[in-house]
Every structure is written in C-alpha cells, then in structure tokens.
C-alpha cells in the first residue's frame, strides 16, 4: 500500500541562505523516513521583490537594470550553491542551470526596457524566476544528502485560469498532471521539490498565484495528491493571536479552524495567503503552520474543528494594504441600479473587495479594495458613472489610501454577546475613530476601518481587551472543563 503523503512548504526565510536550505532539506529527509514527502519552496527571501522591482524599473526605460539584476541573482545563488554542493559535477550542472534561468529573466527585463512596457503576463514570467532557482538548489541538496531529490516547475503541474498576478487553479487538470508527474517518483521513495507561487494556463503560459502564493501552491498540490497533511514551514511558531511584529506578547494558537484562519488571512495576516485553505477544506486535509527555525515546536493545526475559547475573539489582524473608495451624492438615493453599476465596474477590473458599507443617509456607498486594485477600480468607476458625475448627480468618487482595516476574528464570536460593544468601547477609550464598520452575517469577524496611523494602537488595544495573550491558557481550561 502506498504511504501517506505530506506536502511541506518552506517560505522565503526558511530557504533564505545556505544554512536555511540545508535545514529545510534535513526536515524533509527526516519526515520522509515515515511517509512520502513533497517539498514546495518559495524564492530565497527578497528575491521576488528584487525581480518585480527590476521589471518595473526596466519598463520605465532603465536599461541598466537587467545587468544589475543578473549580477545580484548570480552572486546570491552561486554563493549558496558553493556552500551547499560539494560534488563537482552536480555543482557544475546546477550552476549552468541557474545561469540560464537568471539570464532569461535579465533578457525579459531588457525586452521590457526596449518596449517601455510590462504586461501582467511578462511580469509573471519574470517574478517566478526565484522559485525555479530554489527548487533546483534544494533538490540538489537532497541528492547530496543521499536522497532522490528532483526539481519540478509547477508550470508543469498546476493548471490555472488566465488571470496573471492572481491566477486560480483548475482542480481537474491540476490533479491529473500532478499525479502523473509526481506519483512515480514518490513510489520509489524520491522527494519532488516543486516551485511555489508559479503555475501555467491550459495553454502552458506561465502565471503566478499572487504574492505569498507558495502557501496556496502547497495546498493545491496537497489536494491534488490526496495528501495526509500539509505543513507550512515559516519563521513564526504558528498562527498567533496577532502579528508578533505589532504585538510582542502575541501567543501561538494550538489550533484554529479553516474558517478562522481564512478570515485572518483575508484581513491581512501575512502568515497565510488568503486562498490557502480553499483547496483543502472540502477534503478536510489538516494544514499545520510550523517554525522551520524551531522544528521542535508543534505549531498550529488548522482543521474543521475548534475548541471553544472563552473570549469569543481568538485573534486580531490588520493591514494597510487597502484603500477606501467612496461614491457619494444625491444621485445615489433612489437610483435602483447604482449599486449594481458600481459593483459591475469593480468586477470588470477584478478588484478584490475587502469590505462594503453604506452610510445611514444612504447617499454614499463606500467600500474597501486591496491597495493594488485601487487605481484601476477608480478608473473603471469614473468610466461607468461618467454621466452621473457630469450631471452632478454624483458629487464625488474618492480614493483614500491612508486607511487600514482591522479585524477581530473567532468562530465562537457568534455565540458570545457583547463583543461588538467591547470592540467599540475599547476604540473609544483609545480615541480611535472608526471610519467604517462591517460585520458579516456569519459573525466570524468584526472588521472596521481606521486611519492607517491608528492601526497598531487599535490592534494592541483589542489584543489587551480580549486578554489574547492568555488565550492558550484559557483554551486549555475551557477544553478540560468541557
Ligand atoms: P514565509 O516567507 O514563510 O511565507 P511570511 O513572511 O509570508 O513568511 O509570513 C510569516 C509572517 O507573517 C510572520 O513573520 C509574521 O510577522 C506575519 N504574521 C502576520 N500576522 C500573523 C499572525 N496572526 N500569526 C503569525 N504570523 C503573522
Ligand atoms: N516568492 C513569492 C513572493 O514573495 C511567493 C511566496 O513567497 O510565497 O510573493
Ligand atoms: Mg508567505
């Protein structure tokens, strides 16, 4: 009988230098004693940012950027390979392979500089170079350690739609391709090392799954292979009660539900790409978040079930990567199709809407989009509502980027009265103004918009109000008395 499969993903810091890559390979090898292991790797930390910045500068006409990019990537990856691979032939082959990939990325940048243009399709090709490099290096390290490590580009495994920069997987073809490519190697005890973040359309054109998308790659592959579990190895001990960079006394949660983790990711908790849990919810494949720097820690388990938390609120999250768009004016009242036209316009540019609210006077509709979508959303709205603006039925279409969204999340919030009151009185005491509020009917979160300068204070105050730094203790008490 075939062994259970564990898909494990290593994020940018977990493959950030030679020592980290060696330690990732050691973790994979140890796990492979008990089960089949599929490794998914991100680019070395900083590399995707470097690639995206270079592509942007090139398209603005800076021709020299390609040389600089090639030099930086060559240095970083060559040094890593030299520190890790002692076998002369392996090292020579690997260096030749990475040279080709890096030169190709630099050439694409030269093309962008010549054309003075960067299409989303071209950006995806350039941005995904880092993962192709780390997958090859990690597979070679596994071979050095005596295991059959083989690098795979996920462009050959994960099939997506054609939305460059944020593609979504097509489950059927992905399953067929992934199983056909990886099963033979898994059956002989080998370890496939797959690129995170990248994929390809049905026609084979490279796409990416959005920034931070390697988490999503891991669960897509986990679902395609009917994996036993997925482990996301990162640089924190698990999902915490808040971003530890904002709240130093945040604590790690032993377990959270798919819904809770999904809400946290949706409202900006960087520890997970917002789509990560989608592929595994139906089949109930557990996802673990663990610290590759401290593999002895058990981390956070994400599944369907949750233990009750006395506080109702389990974690607080926030992000500044949003913009508020308001459409206001007397023309909004009584025009039955105005909301449909507004959201038709946002849909036409595939803007991701994070929150919607309508003021009580009913003469303004305001909603929050991802910051990256703001400019094209505003343009689409101005085009769609041109007549109303021109006739002064609409007073304005405004974009405010100086905002942050804060959300309190917990599956048991729905059964716990008074949470909204405590949220509002906490913010009142701190003198923080709420620009807009939303609570979904599911009651798994209360989210609100504040000025971006007040974000950290709001998160810290709510973390304190709901005693989240004592959460783990509280949860243990609750489960023992249940
Ligand atoms: P990786 O490179 O491994 O994918 P990321 O930087 O994307 O890692 O995500 C991990 C980071 O997410 C942590 O270092 C932490 O600062 C941040 N983070 C934000 N919110 C949370 C949270 N609620 N729990 C844990 N980490 C969080
Ligand atoms: N390297 C990609 C990024 O930086 C994907 C990832 O790290 O998950 O966005
Ligand atoms: Mg990440």
> Is residue 270 lining ligand 1, measured as CB closer than 6 Å?
yes
- How many CA atoms does the CB half-sphere of 413 hold within 13 Å? 27
d(CA 120, CA 85): 35
Least reliable range by pLDDT among 73-87, 203-217, 293-307: 293-307
What is the pLDDT of the chain when averaged over all its residues? Answer: 92
Please say if the pLDDT value at position 215 is more than 90. yes
Pocket test for ligand 2, best of 43, 123, 218, 220 (most atoms within 8 A of CB): 43
Residue 482 has pLDDT above 60, yes or no: no
pTM above 0.85, yes or no: yes
Which ligand 2 atom minimizes the distance to the CA of 131?
A: 1
> Residues 316, 406: contact at Cβ < 8 Å?
yes
Q: How far is the CA of 331 from the centre of ligand 1 (A)?
A: 43
**CB of 245 sitting under 6 A from ligand 1:** yes
- Which ligand 2 atom lies nearest to the CA of residue 43? 1
Distance 135 CA to ligand 2 centre (A): 13
Q: Check: CB of residue 326 under 8 Å from CB of residue 398.
A: yes
Looking at the CA of 210, which ligand is closest? 2
Q: Is the dihedral angle over the CA atoms 37, 38, 39, 42 positive or is it negative?
A: negative
**What's the confidence (pLDDT) of residue 47?**
98
Residue ranges of the alpha helices (H) in 88-189? Answer: 88-115, 120-127, 129-144, 171-187
pLDDT band at 475 (very low <50, low <70, confident <90, very high): very low
Ligand nearest to the CA of 270: 1
Instruction: Kindly state the tokens that stand for 420.
Output: 């909204």
Task: Identify the pLDDT of residue 473.
Answer: 45
Q: How far is CA 140 from the centre of its chain?
A: 27
Residues within 5 A (CB) of ion ligand 3: 11, 212
pLDDT for the residue 480 = 31
The CA distance from 260 to 300, in Å, is: 12
> How confident is the model over 273-300, as pLDDT tens digits?
999 999 999 999 999 999 999 999 999 9
Q: Which pLDDT score, from 0 to 100, does residue 329 have? A: 82
Predicted confidence band at 334 (pLDDT cuts at 50, 70, 90)? low
Residue with CA closest to ligand 2 atom 2:
212
Distance, in Å, from the CA atom of 152 to the CA atom of 189, rounded to the nearest integer, reads 16
What is the arithmetic mean of pLDDT over 352-377?
83
pLDDT per residue as tens digits for the range 5-39: 999 999 999 999 999 999 999 999 999 999 999 99
Verify whether ligand 1 is closer than 6 Å to residue 13 (CB atom): yes
Question: Do residues 260 and 444 lie in contact, with contact meaning Cβ atoms separated by under 8 Å?
Answer: yes
| Banded model confidence at residue 471, pLDDT cuts 50, 70, 90 | low
Q: Is the CB of 178 under 6 A from ligand 1?
A: no
3-state helix, strand, coil in the chain (%, to 5): 45, 20, 35
Cα of 47 vs centre of ligand 2, distance in Å, is 9
Strands 353-358 and 364-370: antiparallel
Ligand 2, atom 7: nearest CA belongs to which residue?
212
333 C-alpha to ligand 2 centroid (Å) = 44
Q: Which of 40, 270, 288, 294 to mutate to test the pocket of ligand 1 (most atoms within 8 A of CB)?
A: 270
User: Ligand 1 pocket, 299 CB below 6 A?
Assistant: no
Distance CA 65, CA 46 (A): 16
Does the CB atom of residue 197 touch ligand 2 within 6 A?
yes
Cα-to-centroid distance, 444 and ligand 3 (Å): 23
What pLDDT does residue 400 have?
96
User: What is the structure's pLDDT at 390?
Assistant: 85
* CA 323 to centroid of ligand 1, rounded, Å: 22
Which is the closest atom of ligand 2 to the Cα of 130? 1
pLDDT value of residue 467: 86
Distance 110 CA to ligand 1 centre (A): 34
So what's the pLDDT on residue 231? Answer: 98
**Residue 197 CA: which ligand is closest?**
2
Ligand nearest to the CA of 214: 2
Q: Is the CB of 190 under 6 A from ligand 2?
A: no
């Amino acid at each position: 009988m075939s062994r259970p499969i564990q898909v494990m993903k290593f994020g940018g810091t977990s493959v950030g230098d030679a020592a980290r890559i060696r330690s990732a390979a050691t973790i994979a090898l140890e796990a492979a004693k008990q089960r089949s292991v599929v490794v998914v790797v991100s680019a070395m930390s900083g590399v995707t940012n470097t690639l995206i910045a270079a592509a942007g500068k090139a398209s603005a006409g800076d021709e020299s950027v390609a040389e600089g990019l090639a030099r930086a990537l060559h240095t970083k990856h060559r040094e890593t390979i030299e520190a890790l691979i002692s076998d002369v032939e392996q090292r020579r082959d690997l260096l030749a392979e990475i040279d080709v990939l890096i030169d190709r990325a630099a050439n694409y940048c030269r093309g962008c500089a010549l054309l003075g243009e960067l299409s989303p399709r071209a950006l995806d090709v350039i941005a995904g170079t880092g993962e192709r490099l780390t997958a090859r290096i990690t597979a070679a390290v596994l071979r050095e350690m005596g295991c059959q490590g083989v690098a795979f580009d996920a462009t050959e495994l994960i099939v997506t739609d054609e939305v460059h920069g944020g593609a979504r997987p097509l489950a059927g073809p992905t399953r067929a391709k992934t199983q056909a490519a990886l099963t033979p190697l898994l059956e002989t005890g080998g370890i496939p090392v797959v690129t995170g973040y990248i994929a390809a359309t049905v026609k084979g054109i490279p796409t990416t799954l959005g920034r931070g998308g390697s988490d999503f790659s891991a669960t897509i592959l986990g679902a395609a292979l009917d994996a036993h579990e997925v482990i996301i190895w990162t640089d924190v001990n698990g999902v915490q009660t808040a971003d530890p960079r904002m709240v130093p006394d945040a604590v790690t949660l032993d377990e959270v539900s798919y819904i809770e983790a999904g809400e946290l990711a949706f409202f900006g908790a960087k520890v997970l790409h917002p789509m990560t849990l989608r592929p595994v919810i139906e089949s109930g494949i557990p996802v673990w978040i663990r610290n590759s720097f401290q593999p002895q820690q058990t981390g956070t388990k994400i599944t369907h079930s949750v233990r009750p938390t006395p506080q109702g609120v389990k974690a607080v999250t926030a992000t500044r990567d949003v913009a508020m768009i308001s459409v206001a004016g007397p023309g909004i009242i009584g025009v039955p199709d105005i909301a449909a036209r507004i959201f038709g316009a946002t849909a036409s540019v595939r803007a991701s809407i994070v929150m919607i609210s309508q003021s009580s006077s009913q003469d303004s509709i305001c909603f929050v989009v991802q910051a990256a979508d703001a400019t094209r959303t505003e343009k689409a709205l101005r085009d769609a509502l041109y007549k109303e603006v021109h006739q002064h039925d609409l007073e304005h279409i405004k974009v405010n980027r100086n905002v942050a969204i804060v959300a309190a999340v917990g599956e048991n919030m729905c059964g716990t009265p008074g949470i909204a009151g405590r949220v509002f009185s906490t913010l009142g005491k701190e003198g923080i103004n709420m620009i807009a509020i939303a609570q979904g009917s599911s009651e798994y979160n209360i989210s609100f918009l504040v000025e971006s300068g007040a974000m950290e204070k709001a998160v810290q105050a709510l973390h304190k109000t709901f005693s989240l730094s004592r959460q783990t203790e509280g949860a243990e008490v609750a489960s023992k008395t249940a």
